[in-house]
Structure 1
Amino acid sequence: MREFSAVYEQQYAVALFNSVRYEIEGGGGTQPQLLHRKDPLAGRTIFSGNLFQYLEENRKWRNRFVNVPNSYAIHLYETRTAHERGLHPKVTINCAGYKALTSLDEYMELINNSLPGIKAKVGSNPFIKCATPFPLILWHPYARHHYFCVMTEKEQKKWHAVLQDCVRHSNNAGLPENNTVQTPAFTDAVRLYRQAKGHYGTWDMMCGEPPQILANLVMESLHPQVRNVIGPRLKGKLQQRQRHWMLISDAVYRQVASQTAGQYGALVQACESRKAPLDARLRTDMDQVVTSKEHVSNKIRALVMPKAEQLLRTSVQPYISSILEALMEPTSRGFSEVREVFFRELVEISKNSANEGDKEKLGDRLSMLAFHPVKMQSCYEKVEELNLEGLQQRFEVSGTSVFISRAQILMREQMDNAVYTFEQLLHQSLENQGEEDMVKTIQRCQDRVLKKFDYDSSTVRKKFFREALLQIIIPYMLQQLSPSCSAELPHFKELIFEDFSRFLLVDNMFEEVVLQSVTKDIMMAVKEAAVQRRHNLYRDSIILTNSDPNLHLLEDSPSVDWATKFGGEDANGSAVDGVDGVEGKAAGRKRKQVVSMIQLDGVPLPYESCMEVPGVELIPEEDGEAAEKDPKSPDSVNEIRGLINPVLEMTVPLKEEGQGEGEGEGPDGAEPTTITAEDGQLVGNRKQPLDEERQREADINSAIQQIEMAVREDDGEPPAGSSVDGPSPPPATDCDDGGLQSPVKEGLEEGERRPAASGLNGQEASVDPEDVRVAVA
């Protein structure tokens, strides 16, 4: 850490110089066409559901409720109730640096390679026995591993997508790009520190927060040393030695992480305290610093360029097109899939609008599409096909995970930008034109957004290709050129004024010269690729700067609350347009907060994840046909309550005074009265004029008594006032008290339809059994 701190302090001053220079001189690339949402996950919970977790202390599997907030850390609770009560989670997992696995064989291969000199037999039993055939494992090269399993293959795929999303976000969330001083200072310091140790090229463990990255940096050299000392001393069977080594590795990693966190915090604080005077000096002497840098860079260029050009011609230029082709094919397919998924969602929205569906669910289906792991999984899988085999060995690339992860993050950003732009355009159009022809309005907004997406997608991909080529080629060139140039570089320090020596470092200028030597070839290769139609790239000559200035006025507009606009729940959580108060309010809030919910199909009701379902309403994962084929769990708490306490609705004809035969709304000229049975109680839903309120109350009370008698007869209980052993009295045909004839009729065989034959107020009527139904709320 002392060595790294010295490098970081040097790079901090260089990064500050570059930041201030960019601010003064300006610059930048083309303007994006899509709008960017600044904080799309504010106030949201991303995922929730249930998994089986393996507890290493007692070697048993336990059902755990999983909640993933917008930080993408995984919180494990004993039950869903514990989470709702605000209790602390049993386990919190930061997924940075982990790898999500779905195969025990793949996991055991990694474990068997962790201890050198110990050769496991093929097919040897793992030290963990999975409770189901569908495991989910989070593996880390240094930290503790976590084991889960689910009941079905379908759930395994869903949860694997969730875990991959958590890993992807955690890996890339620690170094914000908008911090133009600390982020470049840290990344350059890590790169230069590793180069001093002989490690060039990409690094898979450059993931997470800076303290985590530093812990990985320490473990890169410390882990093999500890393993070589402790590994031979481990006793017992193979599985036992593997378990013990994992525990030791985790303990070492936690100690290292705690120390790097404290020392990095102190380092950043010390550099920030010196930032103000350095910034003031730079702004005063910027011209002289820039002039001095150009002078020294020209001297270094004269030394390096001949050697660099020779290396380029023989070892780099012949392979640029091959590297680019390997990068472009899967990446372009991934971005095309993003466009297709977005288009399909808009088509579904148009269909719902044409069929007069719930307009307040418009935002529920689309708003969080970019952060829905299952819907985005098809896009991510396209990029995972990226393969640099053959080129990896030549340019000593450690792997493709860095490029795959970066492409997936860019795909998610483009999807969210497209969604946000569409919402703002649609909202603006509806404000100006109304909701009369909503399908055409959606179509116009869709066409505009897709054109902008195509342009931004092309721009983002070309930038990604250039950066990836540089990440592959520059470390290789530095490794080849450093032995012949490193001895000469210290002499150039004498050309830098002492006052400017903090901002101008010879090593950085050397790397910039190497970068400039290959930039032209990379730019030309990407331009040539843009001409080929199969890659769907715009040429650089096509620039749409300020093509839609009115749209960018909406850049800072908040996300549209469609539930408030079309009825539902307002910003304060109050019921709007007839939405039920307390219950509707709670359900609406959950729908807004939960992006995705993992539920099990065909699992009995007591399994808790069936009850955690708001996200299923928010973004449906299956189309209508799939839903009909596969029975799904209840989609709301009300449905679950309805399964436990069914609602029985019986339509009873009611004839009003002065109404003739054939008049009225119900059969026999009577208006229907609906009587519901819920939670063991009967409730009347009356649809009569207000002037007959009292008469209806008497009718309903009488009907309730008759239904209770019918229920007792169904259960084998004799009605009040009758003998247990004696025959039941024949049903009365006339009811002076306006009562309801019992629907139970003696003499009918079991399973035969039993019409309810007598209405209220003595009116003879036959109620069709279809009118007696069970409704699940």
Structure 2
Amino acid sequence: PGGRHVEELPALLPWAAGSLCPAADLPGAGSPGTSRMSTAAQQKAAPSPRAPRTPNPAAGPPTPVAADLLRSARGWPPGVVQPQGREHTQEDPDSLLEVPVSFPLFLQHPFRRHLCFSATTRETQRAWKLALQGGIRLRGTVLQRSQAPAARAFLDAVRLHRQHQGHFGDDDVTLGSDAEVLTAVLMRELLPALRAQTLPSLRGAGRARAWAWTELLDAVHAVVLARVSAGLRAFQPEKDELLESLERTIRPDVDHTLQLRARVAGRLQAYVQGPLESCLRREVDAKLPRVTRTLLSTMEAVIKAVQTLLAQGMDRLCRHLRQNPSGPRLRMEVYSFGEMPWDPELMQTCYREAERSQGRLGQLGAPFGFLGMRSLVFGIQDLAQQLMADTVATFLQLADQCLTAALDCDQAAQQLEKVRGRVLKELPGFEGDVLAVGSQALTTEGIYEDVIRGVLLQRINRELRKALGASDISCTLAGCSESPGEKEEA
């Protein structure tokens, strides 16, 4: 709203591990102020930039489920509509319910008090929902999207640390900045002891007890986040020195190190090949086609939505070029076309396809222990946005090369249509870009994991060939037969 970019909302984006959507999106939502909301559904939040309005007594009181959510609400950012009345305090959470909320939205975080906002109109509610959804997604996947070696090393370190703690599956703990990721890891490790030590001593019952636990959890999270952030800042000078020392140590011996790594990988592969193949035949082969079909059906739906949206934008450009080639409307259309990847309203049609697939993707959780549903959906949405951005840039660059002042309107439109066909023809080739694998640390443990991962990737690759009907997809053994330039896997 107001032309602000989604990444310019720092007061709310720390909820990157949470979820966002208006109450109207929840099952059973009815008229404002009287809707029923399911606690099992994901509750999300969005603020309104408008001033508070006079309460509408006819709207009726919130239902008990909505009341529970409102009771857990915390402070309000500037310019956001909030329930009016007497002062809201920790001792008097029921005062939040004095004024009915017309368009409630909720922002939920696993370790912080939930936020509740009220928009003045349904249009404002939707605008803030889309803006914050994009901001939360971009904030949540900032490390995954980064190509910096430091970001990849950080994620590898977190993964190895969690494996030492006994967590071998994927989940959403790596969403957010480095400080937020470390805080989430520490909070999960602290929770069992925190529950055992504090829950028996909490006074009250029911809602009062739950409120006290929420307050405590929020306070602990704030302390952990502050200390982690301070620790990362203090570590920066030492990290720079360590990197310089590491570079001086590794650079002269990099060839020898890679050769040694390849020899160790070969011995490990020979050692585990038999048991690993037996395990994969027993545990993986029967389930892999289902996983492949589920992921590819989701990707196909998202890419089809991108293709449709892109075709509509290119058609508008061709139409306006014929009708008004030199007018301000054409310039506006060109600008709007270039901004499509960052238009939350337009891209929502693509993002919604990924969200609709959550039910199918969620079925992978029980048989495979996969818990990273939000990370997977965010990753698909990131891919859709990046694919749209790359395709739009390609179209504009090719159009700039073929359009000259010597062409009339019809000739220019014909050239654009040729570019349109060329760009759309290439899009289906991206359906195989589902999985990406990075390299591991130069340790025996990392090489051992690479060997297992590489054998599994070969099976995934074969299944992808069957599903896509392609013969040109190649997948090397990660870290073993991979050449220095080959970093992307199928």
TM-score bracket, normalised by the shorter chain, equals 0.7 to 0.9
Quick one: distance in 1 between partners of 2:203 and 2:22? 30
Q: Which of the residues 195, 204, 215 maps onto 2:183? A: 215
Check if 1:451 corresponds to 2:425.
Answer: yes
Asked if 2 retains the 8 angstrom alpha-carbon contact of 1:330 and 1:384, the reply is no
What displacement does 1:161 show?
Answer: 2.3
The change in CA–CA distance for 1:154 and 1:223 in structure 2 (over 3 A counts) is: same
SS at match of 2:284: helix
Q: Which runs of 5+ in 2 are unaligned?
A: 27-35, 44-62, 72-95, 475-490
| One-letter code aligned to 1:449 | V
Q: Where does residue 402 of structure 1 map in the other structure? A: 375
Q: Where does residue 138 of structure 2 map in the other structure? A: 169
Q: Where does residue 9 of structure 2 map in the other structure? A: 74
Check if 1:440 corresponds to 2:414.
Answer: yes
Q: Which of the residues 343, 350, 372 maps onto 1:379? A: 350
Q: Where does residue 433 of structure 2 map in the other structure? A: 463
| One-letter code aligned to 1:101 | C
Q: Which of the residues 503, 512, 518 maps onto 2:456? A: 518
Report Cα offsets for 1:531-564 as digits up to 9, x if no partner: 1xxxxxx65279xxxxxxxxxxxxxxxxxxxxxx
Q: Where does residue 589 of structure 1 map in the other structure? A: none
Quick one: distance in 1 between partners of 2:226 and 2:381? 31
Quick one: distance in 1 between partners of 2:235 and 2:251? 24
| One-letter code aligned to 1:136 | L
Quick one: distance in 2 between partners of 1:158 and 1:302? 57
The change in CA–CA distance for 1:106 and 1:255 in structure 2 (over 3 A counts) is: farther
Q: Where does residue 221 of structure 2 map in the other structure? A: 253
| One-letter code aligned to 1:442 | L
Asked if 2 retains the 8 angstrom alpha-carbon contact of 1:144 and 1:246, the reply is yes
Quick one: distance in 2 between partners of 1:503 and 1:313? 28
| One-letter code aligned to 1:300 | L
Q: What's the % identity of the aligned pairs?
A: 22
Report Cα offsets for 1:672-722 as digits up to 9, x if no partner: xxxxxxxxxxxxxxxxxxxxxxxxxxxxxxxxxxxxxxxxxxxxxxxxxxx
Quick one: distance in 1 between partners of 2:248 and 2:405? 50
Report Cα offsets for 1:742-770 as digits up to 9, x if no partner: xxxxxxxxxxxxxxxxxxxxxxxxxxxxx
What displacement does 1:249 show?
Answer: 1.8
Question: Which stretches of structure 1, 4 residues or more, deviate above 6 A after TM superposition?
Answer: none
What displacement does 1:300 show?
Answer: 2.0
What displacement does 1:418 show?
Answer: 1.3
Let me know the Cα RMSD of the aligned residues.
3.0
What displacement does 1:152 show?
Answer: 4.2
Asked if 1 retains the 8 angstrom alpha-carbon contact of 2:170 and 2:370, the reply is yes
SS at match of 1:147: strand
Report Cα offsets for 1:14-34 as digits up to 9, x if no partner: xxxxxxxxxxxxxxxxxxxxx
What displacement does 1:141 show?
Answer: 0.6
Q: Where does residue 540 of structure 1 map in the other structure? A: 472
| One-letter code aligned to 1:159 | W
State how 1:527-606 maps to structure 2 within 5 Å: 527-531=465-469, 539-540=471-472
Asked if 2 retains the 8 angstrom alpha-carbon contact of 1:131 and 1:149, the reply is no
Higher alpha-carbon deviation: 184-193 or 171-180: 171-180
Check if 1:506 corresponds to 2:444.
Answer: yes
Q: Which runs of 5+ in 1 are unaligned?
A: 1-46, 49-66, 76-90, 113-120, 472-501, 532-537, 543-777
| One-letter code aligned to 1:516 | G
Report Cα offsets for 1:251-280 as digits up to 9, x if no partner: 211111111122233445423313234324
SS at match of 2:371: coil
State how 1:181-330 maps to structure 2 within 5 Å: 182-236=150-204, 238-330=206-298
The change in CA–CA distance for 1:217 and 1:503 in structure 2 (over 3 A counts) is: closer
Report Cα offsets for 1:608-660 as digits up to 9, x if no partner: xxxxxxxxxxxxxxxxxxxxxxxxxxxxxxxxxxxxxxxxxxxxxxxxxxxxx
State how 1:625-644 maps to structure 2 within 5 Å: none
Report Cα offsets for 1:439-487 as digits up to 9, x if no partner: 32332332222223x1xx523x3131x44xx89xxxxxxxxxxxxxxxx
Report Cα offsets for 1:119-151 as digits up to 9, x if no partner: xx9858422547444321111011242222224
| One-letter code aligned to 1:328 | L
What displacement does 1:163 show?
Answer: 2.0
Quick one: distance in 2 between partners of 1:425 and 1:407? 27
Quick one: distance in 2 between partners of 1:243 and 1:426? 59
Quick one: distance in 1 between partners of 2:158 and 2:37? 31
Q: Where does residue 134 of structure 1 map in the other structure? A: 103
Quick one: distance in 2 between partners of 1:149 and 1:381? 23
**TM-score normalized by the length of structure 2:** 0.76
SS at match of 1:194: helix
Q: How many residues align?
A: 410
Q: Where does residue 387 of structure 2 map in the other structure? A: 414
Check if 1:333 corresponds to 2:265.
Answer: no
SS at match of 2:17: coil
State how 1:468-487 maps to structure 2 within 5 Å: none
Quick one: distance in 2 between partners of 1:373 and 1:414? 15
The change in CA–CA distance for 1:269 and 1:404 in structure 2 (over 3 A counts) is: same
Quick one: distance in 1 between partners of 2:105 and 2:377? 21
SS at match of 1:148: strand
The change in CA–CA distance for 1:295 and 1:427 in structure 2 (over 3 A counts) is: closer
| One-letter code aligned to 2:336 | R
Compare CA radii of gyration and give the structure with the larger one.
1
Asked if 1 retains the 8 angstrom alpha-carbon contact of 2:112 and 2:218, the reply is yes
Structure with greater helix percent? 2
The change in CA–CA distance for 1:263 and 1:175 in structure 2 (over 3 A counts) is: farther
Quick one: distance in 1 between partners of 2:468 and 2:42? 44
| One-letter code aligned to 1:74 | L
Quick one: distance in 2 between partners of 1:153 and 1:237? 37
| One-letter code aligned to 1:325 | R
| One-letter code aligned to 2:147 | N
Q: Which of the residues 82, 101, 108 maps onto 2:21? A: 101
Check if 1:393 corresponds to 2:349.
Answer: no
State how 1:15-94 maps to structure 2 within 5 Å: 47-48=1-2, 68-69=4-5, 72-74=7-9, 91=11, 93-94=13-14
State how 1:343-354 maps to structure 2 within 5 Å: 343-354=311-322
What displacement does 1:162 show?
Answer: 2.2
The change in CA–CA distance for 1:186 and 1:332 in structure 2 (over 3 A counts) is: same
SS at match of 2:176: coil
Asked if 1 retains the 8 angstrom alpha-carbon contact of 2:322 and 2:409, the reply is no
Quick one: distance in 2 between partners of 1:433 and 1:371? 33
Quick one: distance in 2 between partners of 1:193 and 1:68? 38
